[in-house]
Structure 1
C-alpha cells in the first residue's frame, strides 16, 4: 500500500525523523571543522553563532543540488544510471575534503539501511529494489553512495515534498 504524504505537516514530520541525531545515520561523524576551529583558538562564544550559520550555509550550498538530483532519480529513464551520474559528480565535489567525504559515504549507506529496515512495509517493490540494488553496488565498491544523493532519494521514496515552490524536473540538477 503506497500512501502519498501530501500535507506539509507530514513531510515536516518525516524530515524531523530523518534528521534526528538519534538515528544511526552518522549525523555526528564530522563536525564540519568546528573541533579544529576550536582547537586552533579561532572559536569563541561570540564567534560560534556565525561559524554555525556559515557552516550550514556552505554545506547547503554544496549539497542541495545533489539532494534534488537524488530526489528526481525515480523520474529518470534509467534511475541507476542517474544515481551513478549524480553520485560521481558529488564525489568530484567532495574529493578534496577527506573528512567530509568519509562522513558523506558513511551517512549515505546508513540512510539507505534506515530506509530498508524501517520504511519498506508499505512501499512499492520497485522502490525497494532500487535502493537494494544501489546499496549492493555501494558495498561492492562500484559506486560511492554520498549522503546528499541518498537523502534525496529516500525523501522521494517516502513522498516527502521538496517545498511548495519546488517542482520535480526530468533532468538531473547536479550536472
Structure 2
C-alpha cells in the first residue's frame, strides 16, 4: 500500500470504548481517500447524533456564543490540554472519539482539538481531511504537515484549530 499513489484509510469504528458504553453517542466512522500522502476526499459520520461531515459538503461553522475558547481533548490527556487552554485563555472539555472531537471544532462547539501523543492514521486521516476542507488549520503537535500512508501508520499527534489560535496553540505544545 505504501507505494500506491492512492489508498483508502478507513476506521469503521472510531471510539470503540465509547461505542461499548450504554447510551454513548461519542463514536464515529471514518473514511478517507489519500492521494500522494494527503487526504483528497474524506467523511466522518457520527451515527449517534445523526451527523455526516465530508470534504465536499462541510465548511467550518462560526463558534457558538461563549466567553472563553474551548479546547477539546481526550479524558486521559487533559493535562497537556490545560497548557494549551492557558495559552489562549480557554477552558478544557473532554469527550470520546477522535472523530467526535475533530467535528466539534468543525461544528463550532469547540475551537481547538489537541491530541498531544501519536495517533494511528485511521484515527486522524478522515477528521484531518474534513477539517482542512472546512478551512481549519491541521498540524502534528510538532507543527508539521501531516502525511498519511506511511510505512509506520502513526502521525505525531494532532492539532485542529481555528486559524486565530494556531500560533498560540503550537507555541504552547513546544515543551
**Which TM-score applies when normalising by structure 1?**
0.27
Between Structure 1 and Structure 2, whose CA radius of gyration is higher?
A: 1
Higher relative contact order (CA 8 A, sep 6+): 1
**Which TM-score applies when normalising by structure 2?**
0.27
Structure with the higher fraction of residues in helix conformation: 1
